[in-house]
Amino acid sequence: MTKKEIIKKTEEFAKKKLNGEGSGHDWWHAYRVWQMAKAIGKQEKVDLFIVELAALLHDLADHKVVGDEEQGLEIIKKWLAGLGVSADDIKKVTDVVENISYRKTFGQKVSLSAEAMVVQDADRLEATGAIGIARNFAYGGSKGIEMYNPREKSKKFKNIEQYKKNVSTSINHFYEKNLLLKDLMNTKMAKKIARKRHDFMLRYLDQFYKEWDGKN
């Protein structure tokens, strides 16, 4: 099988696995991460085959999507082995998937492969800009979280346990995550995109507060 065919088959596989996922990690999220990772990857010295596979599969081992991360990784390994991907390449793909999550790298610098940096940036960009705003509210809705509550202040978290336990509002989530991302990008291209999208989110929030208080 050619690399192109492997990617095509993996696209179908990810689509089937993630279809209808309701918390913002559905197939179309994977699709966007894939497209963005390709665009960033073209500017970097990376193996695009690894980047594309990892982008497509990156959420299949996420605890929000599958119950158990280990099990998710096993599914990915089996899938790629079944397509004849080399053990070496499978390891590179699963390394990316394992190491890029926001929770995993929370508050600490994990050393990542060049491919992982690209996919991590593409995934993090999903929590910025217009899509980031939409996903924030979609996720909040799926968890029954309030959109906004002026009495609830946003928090700063010292560790991942605090972050995980936190039940906040969707608006607070901007300050607790989305607006922190522009300083966490790895690649030059993602930094540039993140800055632009950051400003867009600030403009959005400004308008939101105006409307909340009966202004236009």
Tell me the window of 86-94, 104-112, 118-126, 163-171 that interacts with Ni ion (CB under 5 A): 118-126
Q: Which is nearer to Ni ion, 124 or 182 (CB)?
A: 124
- Helices 69-82 and 87-99, axial angle in degrees (round to 10): 150
Is the backbone of residue 47 left (phi > 0), alpha (psi -120 to 50) or beta? beta
Tally of CB atoms within 10 A around 189: 20
Q: Which is nearer to Ni ion, 59 or 98 (CB)?
A: 59
Per rule CB under 5 A, is residue 26 in the interface with Ni ion? no
Tokens of 32: 């966007």
Are the C-beta atoms of 179 and 157 separated by less than 8 Å? no
| CA–CA separation, 76 and 57 (whole Å) | 7
Nearest one of 92, 97, 110 to 66, comparing CA atoms: 97
Q: Which is nearer to Ni ion, 120 or 170 (CB)?
A: 120
Q: How far is the CB of 21 from Ni ion (least distance, A)?
A: 10
Q: How far is the CB of 183 from Ni ion (least distance, A)?
A: 19
Binding mask 120-139 for Ni ion (x = CB under 5 A): ---x----------------
Q: How far is the CB of 25 from Ni ion (least distance, A)?
A: 6
Q: Which is nearer to Ni ion, 52 or 59 (CB)?
A: 59
Using CB under 5 A, which of 59, 98, 115, 121 touches Ni ion? 59
- Helices 27-41 and 114-125, axial angle in degrees (round to 10): 130
Q: How far is the CB of 20 from Ni ion (least distance, A)?
A: 16
Q: How far is the CB of 192 from Ni ion (least distance, A)?
A: 21
Q: How far is the CB of 141 from Ni ion (least distance, A)?
A: 18
Tell me the window of 2-10, 37-45, 59-67, 72-80 that interacts with Ni ion (CB under 5 A): 59-67
Q: Which is nearer to Ni ion, 26 or 123 (CB)?
A: 123
Sequence-ordered list of residues with C-beta below 8 angstroms from that of 54, at least 6 positions apart, any chain: 37, 92, 93, 96, 97, 115, 116, 119
Are the C-beta atoms of 142 and 22 separated by less than 8 Å? yes
Interface positions with Ni ion (CB under 5 A):
59, 123
